[in-house]
């Protein structure tokens, strides 16, 4: 499988991706736990059918020491016993924030549950994480970016 468009060779899309990658820096610098960031990005990518991002966030999380069992259970997080209450709240926020077209948006209940576990800075980082991964997912799905060849840290800023 080959992508419809080479995102990084494209003068326009390449610049957009660079800005999206740079936009993640405040999240990386925040106090939102890295594991939570990866779980949320993995779940949104599963929902959106972005194989490239599923591959990327699984591999980056494993590389950072996350357990494969937890990552494998992200798709069934409601039935799994391996997530904290805070992670469950973040995963619910990610699902609702990724499924806006299904109607309802993010419920007050989901927001209140997340606010029990995360301070304002962390909530802002969660919102940013969910928004950015959804942007990446949509672009990658549109161009049919193939999955499987990602190397951990491939897009790390130097």
Q: Where do the domains of the chain lie?
A: 31-143
Give the whole-angstrom CA distance, residue 44 versus residue 53: 9
Q: In the chain, which ranges are continuous DSSP H helix?
A: 11-23, 25-28, 34-48, 51-63, 68-72, 85-98, 108-117, 120-143
Ranges under pLDDT 70 in the chain: 157-158
Token pair 């999206």 is at which residue? Answer: 20
Give the whole-angstrom CA distance, residue 5 versus residue 88: 36
Q: In this structure, which long-range contacts are made by residues 11-17, counting pairs with CB atoms below 8 Å and at least 24 apart in sequence? A: 13/139, 13/143, 16/139, 17/136, 17/139
Q: What local confidence, expressed as pLDDT, does residue 158 receive? A: 37
Give me the phi and psi of 115, to 5 degrees please: -65, -20
- Say which residues have a Cβ less than 8 Å from residue 108's Cβ, sequence separation at least 6: none
pLDDT in tens, 113-135: 999 999 999 999 999 999 999 99
Domain 31-143: CATH class, spelled out: mainly alpha
The DSSP 8-state label assigned to residue 151 in this structure reads: -
Burial 85-115 (b: 16+ CB within 10 A, else e): ebbbbbbbbbbbbbbeeeeeebeeebbebbe
pTM for the structure as a whole: 0.94
């Amino acid at each position: 499988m080959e992508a419809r468009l080479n995102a990084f060779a494209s003068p326009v899309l390449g610049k957009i991706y660079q800005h999206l990658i740079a936009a993640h820096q405040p999240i990386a610098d925040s106090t939102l736990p890295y594991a939570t960031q990866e779980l949320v990005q993995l779940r949104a990518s599963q929902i959106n059918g972005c194989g490239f991002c599923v591959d990327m966030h699984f591999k980056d999380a494993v590389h950072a020491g996350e357990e494969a069992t937890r990552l494998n259970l992200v798709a069934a997080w409601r039935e799994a016993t391996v997530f904290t209450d805070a992670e469950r709240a973040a995963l619910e926020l990610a699902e609702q924030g990724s499924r806006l077209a299904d109607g309802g948006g993010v419920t007050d209940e989901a927001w209140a549950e997340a606010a029990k576990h995360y301070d304002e800075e962390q909530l802002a980082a969660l919102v940013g994480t969910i928004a950015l991964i959804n942007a990446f997912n949509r672009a990658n799905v549109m161009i049919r970016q193939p999955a499987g060849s990602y190397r951990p840290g491939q897009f790390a800023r130097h």
